[in-house]
Each structure stands twice: as structure tokens, then as C-alpha cells.
Structure 1
Amino acid sequence: MNDDQHLSRVERRRRELERERLTEQARLDEQTRLEEDARHETPQHQGPVEDRFTNDSNRSTDTEQGEHPFLNRQADDARTAHASNKKAESKRKTSKLRNRGFSLPFGKKRKAKPRRDERREPVRDTREPKRKDERRDAATAAPKEKPHRRRWKGKVLAILLLLGLVAGYMATSPVTFLVMGSDARVGESLSGSRTDSLQLMEFVPRSRTVQNVSIPRDTYTAIPCEPEREGDKITHAFAYGGADCTVGAVEGLTEASVDGQVVITFETFMELIDLVGGVNVTATHSFSEKGFNQTYEYTEGVSYAMDGDMALAYARHRKTDTDGARSNRQTEVMSAVADKLASPTGWTKIPATYRFMKDEMGLEMNPLQMASIGMTMALQPQVDKLQIEGEDAYIDNVYYYQPTEASVQAVRDALDLTMWGTVR
């Protein structure tokens, strides 16, 4: 006898229902597999599968209805489990479809992810938080700009410092400057005029000294623009070749290299004094001299506040003394102008004075040379006055001032200075 015959009718029915449930579960699994295959193949198998599913469902329903309450409850449990499995399977299918990028015709739609070429690198979502190693790399990489900028700042500062040192070195180098006083009267042209006075000045800032060499106008020397003659009066150099010829004659006589120059006439001399607001000069000789406006009386040792006309009369007087004394008075006036510009009240007048001397007096001097001269005068230097000494001489019945060899050599040695003001 079979083992099932010893069981009660209820137990046998329960086992039959359990076998039917397992059979139904296997059928559902098979149906699910077929539906998955049907999505990738032709839809010809969908009809028979659905028909079989419908027939089996009807038989199951007929079998499960109305024998016993216990059996009905078992059938309900089976149907509930079947519905749950079907719902879970449907969710799995939906999730697979969404992951593959298909849009669903119902429910909440998710944004489909665009397909990417496998050869491209995956694009990182900027909203994704960075990993710890990436944050650490970013934190260590960010401050690298600061040392780079500091290095550039250091290089720029080093270059500026080097330029400052070079400019300071050049600004404290000796400067030789030639002042040519033309005898052209007011309204007359410089062309064809002669130099009434020549002052060669060497400024040495580091030793706070000024070498001032006065060259008499009749000094006999070689003239570059008169090669056919052995020598001539140095005052004729300006008449024959202008400022360049005069500079060449002075350099040949003193063996000094002239760095800058200026040409002063009676008119520009007075305008320069008035431009700086007048000068204060203490007279070193007693005399009277007629100016353009009036006759002026000067007493030795008395200080005068001079305007342009009074200063010109003081500088050009030579009736009662020598050319050397007149050159000294001209130096006194020019030193007074420099002192006026070097004072705090005269700083604002330096640009206008520089423009006037450049435009009207033919000033040739670069900014570094100006700085050297201004620095020397601001330090209240010691002024060493030198003069070409000589003897009166007549050559072809023409008067000349013949310089002595010893005097010329002494001037050359005095001008041959180092940057520290010592003789080479």
C-alpha cells in the first residue's frame, strides 16, 4: 500500500496543493524565462505562453475552489505568495530596463544616462565628493603658486636693487662741465660771437669737492677748427666752430674729457637769475659797473640780493681787475644759482630751470650727470679755484696770453682725479 493511503484525507489534499504550488511556481519561472527571451527574439512565442498560462490558471482556480476551509486558506496563501513573487519579478524587470536606459510608459520617469564611448575616459560627476587622496593632493598643490610669485618678486627686487646701485654709482661719478659765456649782446645772434669767459668745472660728489678752472679768453692754444694754424686765441674757437670747436680746444689744452656744456649770453644770464628768484652774493671786490637799467655800486664784504641785471653787471666787470678776478665773480654767481636750486625753496624751480637751460642755453647733460652735480652742490663742497697762468705775448703783432707749461701741467694733474677725488 502507498504511504499516501495511510494519511488522512486533509493531509493528502494539503500535499497535493503543495505539489501544485511547486508546479505552478516552476511554470511561472519558465514563463518569466520565456518572456525574457521573447524581448530579445521574435514575439511569436508570446501567444502560446499566454494561452497556457490562462488555461493553467483556470484549472488551478477550479481545483482550488470550495472543498474545505483549511484547503481554501492554503489556496489563498499560495495565491498571495504567487502575487508577491510576480510583483517582485516585475520590479526586477523594471530595474533592469531602467539600468539599460529604457524609458517607462508609466510611473516616475528617471533621467536616462547617456551612453558613452568605451574608448573615452569616464566623466567625473562634479557633485561627487572628492576622495581623501584627491583632497590631499589639491591642498598640497594650491600653495605652490605662492613660492613661484615670491621668486618672481625676489627677482624683480634684485633687478631694481641692481639698477639702483648702478644708478647710484653713476650719479656719484665725477662730472666735468664747461660753461661758455658768449659776448653776444641782447638781441644779437650767437653765430660769429666769441666766448667772453670759459669755466671748466669738475664735480666730485664722493670727496665733496669742485675743481673750477678759469681759462682766460686770450689764451694761446691749438684750435681744432683751424688746422692750418699752429694756435690762436681760445675765444676765437666759438666764432669759427661754435660750441663743439670750443669744447675740442679746451679738451686739448687741459686733457680733460668734457661731459656736459652750456652757452650763456647776457640775455639768458639775466633771465636765468630772474627765473630762480634772484641770488645772494657777497662782493669780493669794490667797484661800480653800469647795467642795462642803472649803475651799481659794490663794496667788498657786503652781501647783495641781486636780480638778473645787477648780477650780470657784477659778473662782467673787468676794468679795475684781471680776467681771473672776473672769472671768479662769474663762478660766484653760478654757485649762488646752484645753492638756490639746492635749497628746499628752490626744488620746485628745478624742472623749469632745466627746461630753460636746455631750450635757451644749449644745455647738454643727462639726468645722472645732473644728479651728480646736484648732489655735490647739496653737500656744500670745497671749491678749489684754479687758473691757467701765463705771460703776455705778441705773435705777428697780435696780443696773446701764452700759458706756461708748468701751469698747464698743474691743471691737468688737478683734473686727473679718481671717483674718490684723489689724484690718479
Structure 2
Amino acid sequence: MKDDKRLSRVERRKRELEQQEQEKSIQPDEQWMGEPSQQEHREQMSDQSEHPFLNESSREPAQSGSKKSKARRKQMPRIPSLSKRKTTRRKSNQATQPSKPSNPQKREVDSASKSPSKRKRKWKGKVALLLLIALLVAGYVATSPFTFLIMGSDARVGESLSGSRTDSLQLMEFVPRSRTVQNVSIPRDTYTPIPCEPDREGDKITHAFAYGGAECTIGAVEELTDASVDGQVVITFESFMELIDLIGGVNVTATHSFSEKGFNQTYEYTEGVSYAMDGDMALAYARHRKTDTDGARSNRQTEVMTAVAEKLASPSGWTKIPATYRFMKEEMGLEMNVLQMASVGLTMISNPEVNKMQVEGQDAYINDIYYYEPLEESVQAIRDALDLSIWGTVR
């Protein structure tokens, strides 16, 4: 301590500076990387101001310290500035931007994957629209008036249909929306023009089938009633019995008391009594005409055919419709499509009001041949009754 006191002030200052330099080397990088602290700077400035001759000696350690700090700064990694970071981010964004063209590809793939679904939806929509239109058209046709001609041939069992005559003619118009059935009975001897007999003014309508078959008969009926026939069927005695047996028989209430011989036995009918008839009994009931008029026989035939329609329209007869349709198509020459059958079925299910009409006329002899000459008033009334709109009203 004494030696320290003996030292000059300058030497003590040198030692202090050396100690400071050593302390600086021990301090963290943040201290030796930066500039001296404010307190040290003040001390240096005060010392230098007091001893100006120490500036030269103090420059060397300061310069050496600065050199060391510069060397250390060179060794330390450089931290990029904010501006550089921004540029690097922009560059990185720019570098990632080329990957964006993949997005349109994905969009194309997505659109390609979505386009079939859209097409399917459009296709389903179109199909649904077409089905709706078809249903509307089918409903309109099925509920439109339908005119049907029933031709009963007088061909016996085992006889050929060709050359036979029509024993009965029933023109039936079904009107589903008004729940009505117009039933026109045409006597077999009715005098009227025949399309297949152009050389004659008229003939018995029953001869039309013998000369030109069903087509000629339809033409004669249309000429007489001024109606358009939409469907037809030809019934013989044999096919009539087979049809009744096929559907399991019919229930008919007799409107007249009489007896009639069938193929199997003689049947007794009492007016007002209901009978469960098989094919033979129903045929005997429908063909009787000895004790009453030809018009009454036509009414009985209508009663039997109405009973057939009611049987098929009932829940118990629904299962028999396909077999009945095939039989009538093959054996009776039925001409009726599905929509027309629906029109008949809808009308019969609704418990329709049956308006029975008959061509009224008078007996006449032309060239000594008997004819049933129709009255103009009766024919015109029938034409007006058959000229109905879709709602069942007169046009």
C-alpha cells in the first residue's frame, strides 16, 4: 500500500485503465460489442481533460480495444434488418407464388368433378319434368270420354266368325269426370247406310259384319250415331261363356221373368231376383228374346256386360284383370289400350250413372224385306247425348 501511495498519479491511472480493459474482456458480448458505458465515458473525459498528455498513451489501448471489438463484430453473425426481413418475406411470398397455378388446376379438377353432378342434377330434373308431363297427359287421356263398341256375333259354338252377323250392338261412352255412362242399343234390323255396300242406299246394320267384318260395322255405327268409335270387341257365344267363367261368374238381378234353354240346362228367371250366374246361365239370360222385344234383349246384354265391368272393378276382381285383358285381346279381338282401360275402370269404380238409350224406330218393308227404320228425332237425340265434353257436358 505504501508503494501504491508512492506511485505517481499517472501510473495509478494507467493501472486503473488496464484493470478496466481486463474487466471489459470479462463482460458479456453486449458490453464489449457496444461502446463504453456512460459512467466510464465520463471518467475518461474527466481524466483526459485533467491530463491532456495521457491522450497519446490512452489511444493505443483504445485503438487495440476497438480493433478487437471490430474483429469480434466480424465474427458475430449479422442480424438482418427489418427492411431486409420484409424483402425476404416478399421474396419468399414471390417464391411461393409460382405454386398458385396449381390452384387453377385444382379448380379445374373440382369443376370437372362437380360438372358430372350438375349434369346429373340437370338430367334428373329433365326426367322428372318429362315424367310430370307424361303423367299429366296420361291423366288427361284417361279422364277423357271413351267410346267403345261391343259387337255380339250370332256364331254358334264351333262355327266360324267369318260370315256371321251381329246379333247385338252396344255403343258405350264412358265419361270419368262426370261419372256417367252413355249406353246406346242398336237393334240388329236397323236400316242405315253401310260403308261396304256403296251400291245400296241402306241395309240392315247386322249385315255389315257379314259383308265387311268389324271395320264395316264400325263405319255403319259411326254413320248412324255421328260418333267416333275408340275401341271395339267382338263376342261370340263361346267366348262370352268363357269370359264369364274366367272372372268367376257375375251377379245379375233379373229385369224380366222368363225361362231360357242354355247349353247345359233350362234356366228360370224371376224379375227382381238376383242370380249368381256362370257363363252358360248368363248367356241364356242375355240372348232371350221370345217373350219381349229386341230392345229388352239389348238391355239384358248391357246388364251382363255392366256386371262384368263391376266385377273387374271390385277389389276381388283386380287380380283377374291381366288374364281377362289377354283373353279378350286374343279371343275377342279387343282393341283398347291401357289408358282407355283406365278410363273405363275409373268410370266404373265411381259407381256411375248409366244413361240407357235405344234407337227408336218403326217397322218398314222395302222390296218386301223387313227393316227397322229409325226415327230422325231419336237418332238426333242420341247424337246430342254422345257429343259430350271432357266434363260430361253437351258441346
Counterpart selection for 2:331 from 334, 351, 360: 360
Question: What is the aligned partner in structure 2 of residue 386 from structure 1?
Answer: 357
Q: Amino acid of the residue matched to residue 274 of structure 1?
A: D
Q: Amino acid of the residue matched to residue 148 of structure 1?
A: R
Counterpart selection for 2:201 from 230, 234, 250: 230
Q: Amino acid of the residue matched to residue 315 of structure 2?
A: P
Change (3 A) 1:136 1:319: closer
Report the CA distance between 1:376 and its aligned residue: 1.1
Is the aligned partner of 1:248 residue 2:225? no
Alpha-carbon separation, structure 2, partners of 1:133 and 1:266: 80
Counterpart selection for 2:343 from 344, 369, 372: 372
Partner of 1:202, secondary structure, is strand
Question: What is the aligned partner in structure 2 of residue 60 from structure 1?
Answer: none
Question: What is the aligned partner in structure 2 of residue 212 from structure 1?
Answer: 183
Is the aligned partner of 1:396 residue 2:367? yes
Which structure 2 residues correspond to residues 316-331 of structure 1 after superposition, within 5 A?
316-331=287-302
**Percent identical:** 79
Report the CA distance between 1:148 and its aligned residue: 3.1
Which structure 2 residues correspond to residues 163-182 of structure 1 after superposition, within 5 A?
163-182=134-153
Residues 132-164 of structure 1 show CA distances to partners (whole Å, capped at 9, x for unaligned) of 776677667644543332222111111111111
Aligned-residue CA RMSD (Å): 1.8
Residues 364-423 of structure 1 show CA distances to partners (whole Å, capped at 9, x for unaligned) of 112221111111111111110011000011111111111000000000000011111110
Structure 1 residue runs of 5 or longer lacking an equivalent are 1-127
Alpha-carbon separation, structure 2, partners of 1:304 and 1:311: 9
Q: Amino acid of the residue matched to residue 210 of structure 1?
A: V
Change (3 A) 1:136 1:410: closer
Alpha-carbon separation, structure 2, partners of 1:336 and 1:280: 6
Report the CA distance between 1:239 and its aligned residue: 1.1
Counterpart selection for 1:195 from 150, 160, 166: 166
Which structure 2 residues correspond to residues 264-279 of structure 1 after superposition, within 5 A?
264-279=235-250
Report the CA distance between 1:238 and its aligned residue: 0.9
Change (3 A) 1:404 1:134: closer
Q: Amino acid of the residue matched to residue 374 of structure 1?
A: G
Question: What is the aligned partner in structure 2 of residue 111 from structure 1?
Answer: none
Partner of 1:242, secondary structure, is helix
Which structure 2 residues correspond to residues 57-72 of structure 1 after superposition, within 5 A?
none
Alpha-carbon separation, structure 2, partners of 1:422 and 1:152: 41
Is the aligned partner of 1:313 residue 2:284? yes
Question: What is the aligned partner in structure 1 of residue 259 from structure 2?
Answer: 288
Change (3 A) 1:153 1:396: same
Residues 17-73 of structure 1 show CA distances to partners (whole Å, capped at 9, x for unaligned) of xxxxxxxxxxxxxxxxxxxxxxxxxxxxxxxxxxxxxxxxxxxxxxxxxxxxxxxxx
Structure 2 residue runs of 5 or longer lacking an equivalent are 1-98
Alpha-carbon separation, structure 1, partners of 2:117 and 2:355: 56
Alpha-carbon separation, structure 1, partners of 2:209 and 2:215: 8
Report the CA distance between 1:192 and its aligned residue: 1.5
Change (3 A) 1:402 1:148: same
Change (3 A) 1:400 1:151: same
Aligned positions, number: 297
Is the aligned partner of 1:159 residue 2:130? yes
Alpha-carbon separation, structure 2, partners of 1:217 and 1:382: 26
Which stretch shows the higher mean deviation, 370-379 or 134-143? 134-143
Q: Amino acid of the residue matched to residue 289 of structure 1?
A: E
Q: Amino acid of the residue matched to residue 356 of structure 1?
A: F
Change (3 A) 1:137 1:339: same
TM-score normalised according to structure 1 size: 0.67
Partner of 1:181, secondary structure, is strand
Q: Amino acid of the residue matched to residue 279 of structure 1?
A: V
Report the CA distance between 1:270 and its aligned residue: 0.3
